[in-house]
Structure 1
Amino acid sequence: MADAEKVDLNSLVKVREALYRLIISQLYYDGQQTLASSMHQTIKPDPACPPSDRLFRLVLLGLQKEKEASEDRVKTEDTFTSGLDLEFESDMPTVAPEPAAYETCYVTSHKGACRSGCFSPDGQLIATGSVDASIKIIDVDRMLAKKPHEPDMIDASSGHHPVIKTLYDHVDEVTWLEFHPRLPLLASGSRDTNIKIFEYSKSSVKKATTVISDAIPVRCFSFHPSGDYMAVGTDHTAVRVYDIATAQCYVNPFNKEHHTNRVTSTQWSPDARVYVTGSNDGSIKLWDGVSSRCVNTFPNAHDGAGISSVVFSKNGKYVLSSGKDSMVKLWELSTSRCLIAYTGAGIIGKQQHRSRAIFNHTEDFVMLPDEATKSLCSWDARNASRKQLMSLCHNSPVRHIIHSPVTSAFMSCSDDFRARFWVRRAATH
């Protein structure tokens, strides 16, 4: 093993020497005599480096090969693995409009603060949940069909109202919502300690068909990509994994691997190999998707501040996190390091409430609602450059935002009892 490592090290040294020689030759060729001489004296290559544009030609060839590989990758991969990938070009042009270009298309109201929401996998439906224990299911096409600022006077029973169903089956705040990845089911979690699953496609359904009862208020959950299991975060320190069919619960038996405060966010990776959790203890943890053993921990991920959200990128290579320090960070899982910090949100520093950071549907942009200004902060996902600030038109803090998985649209949920649907109207721009 030691001999193999020595051979590899020698190879790296030779490659590095060759690279330095190419750089010096290119500098001489380009007329940069001072820079070339300075580097020549520092490196002391033997033999001397004559002027040459070989490095320029090699870079051109390499860029062409990289472009071809990237194009082949786009052709062969599906939506499952598209999106952000910093192993390829970091300066790729964005294909989606900036979030600041969106406009309000529809507003719906609850009788209490609206703090949860989700899109269906096909982007056709939105569900919103409230402190008043209600859940609304809203049809996206019907919202788009309404004219901007049109009064919401259509009778819900007429068949044209965007809100197609309102569900009342919890007795406390609805804290989390998620559509099943394969079936027409909607799951909801609540402070009443229950997770309820609704067959929303049946017009007569008013109550849940499946109830998973916990002993602790439910904070968040995430469906396994198969839809057969669910990772659940509660006010307890231990993450639960439930079997949807049997309601059996599995909890990691090793207490030292658990969080030390309540679990605030969780999500399965797209390939289901791992799931990620964030906690009020300030740490982010990765868990094996089969054994539920903790495989990695990012302690003090946001300088000790509580974790507000964790979201996987589509290819599963990165986790986007937000914390109560008003920071958003992108973590590379293969190297266990923070690649990018998105800064500039939160004029008052630490937040009082949790704010969820998300990607847009193409993963060109990162989005975070600012608690103090009630505006939307957004960044270029690849280089963290700040984009235009946009007012979210809410009268109270925005506690939750969700972006469509398929198009330029998102929903903002606020303590002012309202949920606003934002969209880039292609016909008017």
Structure 2
Amino acid sequence: METEIKDGVGIVKKEAVLSLIVSQLTDYGYNSLATAVAKYTNVEMSAESNSMLAQLLYIGNKYKDEGKSTAKKSPEAHEDGDVTTTTNAGFAGSGGTGSGNPNDDMDGISEDESEVDGLLIDGTKGGDGTNEVQNTAPDYIMWYQTTHKGPATAAAFSRNGQYLATGSADTTLKVIDTDRIKSPTQKTSIEEKPVVRTLYDHQEGINDLTFHPNGIVLASCSDDRSIKLFDLSVSQGKRSFRYMYDSHTINSISFHPSGDFLAAGTTASELRIYDIKTFQCYIPSGSNGSGEGNNGGHTKGIVQTRYAHNGSLIATASLDGSVKIWDGVDGSCVRTLENAHGGSPVTSVNFSRNTKYILTCGRDSLIKLWEVGSGRLVHDFAGSVHKKTVCQASFTHDEAFVISGDEATNTITCWDSRTGTFLKRYGGQNQSICQIAASPSFPAFVSCS
């Protein structure tokens, strides 16, 4: 960070300060304001939102406060200064108060630090978590419902939870401002309708959505074999500003936490990695079948792919019944869970925030929690049926619970993530639930059918 001397005092240059302001505004969810400031001051928008400005202010205030009592403290006392769908998409929230941090992610955080708030399973009794204190199921209530002309097939939250996007088999996408979703007892004015944008640019149904870490770019993939990027900061913009085509149907996409790369899973067996700046596509050497034994690629199409929260790993779930973990840097396959669901297709995969565990869902009607480092099955979650739909399983915002749909009852099922205990069912949908996504910052989730 460049500095200069002004009036005999060392300061950070104006450009650097303005860049920090823009990044902080984006991190707070003020994307339009951040864009306006960037344009007015000719500051380049950061590829990734961050809270560095808030962190620096914290450190400065802490240093200032400690400086008042330096005479009473030894130098060692300062060592703790750490930098530190008609079909629908239904949105449900917990009646309780969320404890999640909107900015809770893995960027710049070591694995040890992340373990403080991350999912940790106490395995002292056989590794099954049976000695864990039982959680009480949250009281989710229906907050909001929006409709598409066709089945709702995809949903994703922005990293800070401010925006929610849904995609449909009718080819449209909707962007919802979660701040405008009120409780059922409150009325919403016409000027504050939750749906802030409807996007059109695909020729066939939407399969997956993911927000760029900066919160203002939304990526979508479709049966039309395309990935499209939409700039949400452009007023009234309804079409994509960039796109890329593949030779196969694209089932799933996931941004690297830096925003520089996009992982894609298609009906082909190879994992794709796209460079966002050049749109060049890379296929990891191990993904094309060149690896030895279990270190080779999938033998059937990839249903879902997800980056770990720190970008170090990529997980893929496939129709071949396996789950593979890939190195986020060199693309090598570092672990394979063969027959993860008894040979049944695996339809979803998600990392815990500390990257220690992955949550998978398969057409054997089981959801499973695995330890990434050892490949050990921690426990499974039974009680819901997944036989026909490409169903998803997700951690809640605080990773205390696991939620998924049940196609037999059209309900949402909830389990204790640490013990695997079935806790509760939630109604609200009239048809099978094919997608479920939890807010990263507060106790709420969206279900699609």
Q: What TM-score comes out, normalization by structure 1 length? A: 0.73
Does 2:140 align with 1:105? Answer: no
Match of 2:256 among 217, 221, 224: 224
Aligned to 1:173: 205
Match of 2:230 among 190, 195, 198: 198
> Contact 1:187–1:198 (CA<8 Å) still a contact in 2?
yes
Match of 2:181 among 140, 143, 149: 143
Aligned to 2:275: 243
Determine which structure has the larger helix proportion and give its number: 1
> Contact 2:361–2:392 (CA<8 Å) still a contact in 1?
yes
Aligned to 1:354: 390
Match of 1:272 among 306, 311, 315: 311
| Cα distance, 1:93 vs structure 2 | 5.3
Separation in 2, partners of 1:252, 1:160: 45
> Contact 2:384–2:408 (CA<8 Å) still a contact in 1?
no
Aligned to 1:215: 247
Separation in 2, partners of 1:146, 1:203: 29
SS of the residue 1:141 aligns to: helix
Q: 1:295 to 1:79 in 2, by over 3 A?
A: closer
Aligned to 2:339: 300
Q: 1:165 to 1:274 in 2, by over 3 A?
A: same
Does 2:348 align with 1:309? Answer: yes
Match of 1:123 among 152, 161, 164: 161
The answer to which of 253-262 and 405-414 deviates more is 253-262
SS of the residue 1:172 aligns to: coil
Aligned to 1:394: 429
Aligned to 2:30: none
> Contact 1:186–1:200 (CA<8 Å) still a contact in 2?
yes
Separation in 2, partners of 1:167, 1:252: 32
Q: 1:161 to 1:146 in 2, by over 3 A?
A: farther
Separation in 2, partners of 1:202, 1:412: 28
SS of the residue 1:335 aligns to: coil
Match of 1:114 among 152, 175, 187: 152
Of the two, which has the highest radius of gyration?
1
Separation in 2, partners of 1:135, 1:323: 26
Separation in 2, partners of 1:239, 1:251: 6
Does 2:331 align with 1:331? Answer: no
> Contact 1:133–1:169 (CA<8 Å) still a contact in 2?
yes
Q: 1:302 to 1:210 in 2, by over 3 A?
A: same
Of all paired residues, the percent bearing the same amino acid is: 39
The answer to which of 270-279 and 241-250 deviates more is 270-279
| Cα distance, 1:79 vs structure 2 | 5.3
For residues 402-422 of structure 1, the C-alpha deviation after alignment (integer angstroms, 9 at most, x for no partner) is 1111111111110xxxxxxxx
Does 2:407 align with 1:407? Answer: no
Q: 1:203 to 1:188 in 2, by over 3 A?
A: same
Match of 1:189 among 221, 245, 252: 221
Match of 1:378 among 414, 418, 422: 414
What letter is aligned with 1:262? Answer: G
| Cα distance, 1:300 vs structure 2 | 0.3
CA RMSD of aligned residues (A): 2.3
| Cα distance, 1:278 vs structure 2 | 0.4
For residues 28-83 of structure 1, the C-alpha deviation after alignment (integer angstroms, 9 at most, x for no partner) is xxxxxxxxxxxxxxxxxxxxxxxxxxxxxxxxxxxxxxxxxxxx9xxx79653223
Separation in 1, partners of 2:354, 2:282: 27
Number of positions where the alignment pairs a residue of Structure 1 with one of Structure 2: 329
> Contact 1:83–1:364 (CA<8 Å) still a contact in 2?
no
> Contact 2:132–2:419 (CA<8 Å) still a contact in 1?
no
Provide structure 2 residue ranges, at least 5 long, that are not aligned to the other structure.
1-79, 85-100, 107-113, 290-295
| Cα distance, 1:271 vs structure 2 | 2.0
| Cα distance, 1:353 vs structure 2 | 1.1
> Contact 2:229–2:240 (CA<8 Å) still a contact in 1?
yes
Q: What TM-score comes out, normalization by structure 2 length? A: 0.70
What letter is aligned with 1:366? Answer: V
| Cα distance, 1:210 vs structure 2 | 1.2
> Contact 2:251–2:303 (CA<8 Å) still a contact in 1?
yes
Aligned to 1:49: none
> Contact 2:384–2:407 (CA<8 Å) still a contact in 1?
no
> Contact 1:278–1:284 (CA<8 Å) still a contact in 2?
yes
Separation in 2, partners of 1:355, 1:183: 26
For residues 154-188 of structure 1, the C-alpha deviation after alignment (integer angstroms, 9 at most, x for no partner) is 6xxx5311110000111110111111112411001
Provide structure 1 residue ranges, at least 5 long, that are not aligned to the other structure.
1-71, 415-429
